[in-house]
Structure 1
Amino acid sequence: MELCPTCGMLLKSELPNLDFPTRFFYTTCPYVNQIEQKIKRKQRVVKKEIDPIITHDDIKNAPKTYQAHCPNCGHNKAAYIQFQTRSTDKTMTINFTCEKYGKCWHKD
């Protein structure tokens, strides 16, 4: 897909015909782009690093509760952070982190 640098419209492609090579063109402006026969087959994909949504500092500074029981160890003290992950008429998602072992779980 190519866009015309002059008018910004989507260019049409034309297959080789007689002495004319394959090209991109647009009917209302004079721009024409000849297509080279060299085509790159491989393109290197660079994996982007993903930043965490909740950092360790967020968990350290988060409020604590004694009413959340860890499903892994049963400890009752946990830090919690609330997120609005769905539409605003739905309840917030609460992410808990166990103070004893650092395991995470959530409650919708």
Structure 2
Amino acid sequence: MEFCPTCGNMLQFELPHMGRPSRFVCPTCPYVCQLENKVKIKRRQHLVKKEIEPVFNSDDMKIGGAETDATCPAPNCGFGRAYFSQIQIRSADEPATTFYQCLRCEKRWRED
């Protein structure tokens, strides 16, 4: 997306026509920007996915979390006790999010 340096409006793209190269033109003033027909990629940059850090890690849940009756959703566990912590991660008029960690298998899950 390009903008006109004269008036600030968004430039419109025009395809090449009868020997004229493609160009950007301003719809309100006479500004025209000619484009090269060849596009060269100078460098490819590979994106690396960042590791997501948990809101609560295992140590935080064991130290600051309280125990409650909650059934673990892990298919092979189903244990009925878990640590839990609540935090307000959405707007104030929404309920708090509860994070759980199973006491047996240490699986973590949340309920909004």
**TM-score, normalization: structure 1?**
0.64
Q: Aligned residues: percent identity?
A: 36
Contact 2:66 2:85 in 1 (8 A): no
1:52 is matched with: 53
1: CA distance, partners of 2:60 / 2:52: 13
**Compared with structure 1, are the counterparts of its residues 75 and 26 closer, same or farther at alpha carbon in structure 2 (3 Å cutoff)?**
same
2:79 is matched with: 74
Gaps of 5+ in 1: none
Q: 1:63 aligns with which of 59, 62, 65?
A: 65
- Cα-Cα RMSD: 3.2
Deviation at residue 92 of structure 1 after TM alignment: 2.7
- Where does 1:86-105 land on structure 2 (aligned, <5 Å)? 88-105=92-109
Contact 2:79 2:102 in 1 (8 A): no
Gaps of 5+ in 2: none
Contact 1:96 1:104 in 2 (8 A): yes
Q: Write out per-residue CA displacement over residues 45-91 of structure 1, whole angstroms, 9 at most, x where no aligned residue.
A: 514414324242543443221x3244225252x32222446665553
1: CA distance, partners of 2:40 / 2:47: 17
2: CA distance, partners of 1:36 / 1:103: 56
**TM-score, normalization: structure 2?**
0.62
Is 1:38 aligned to 2:38, yes or no? yes
1: CA distance, partners of 2:49 / 2:6: 33
Contact 1:85 1:93 in 2 (8 A): yes
Deviation at residue 31 of structure 1 after TM alignment: 3.6
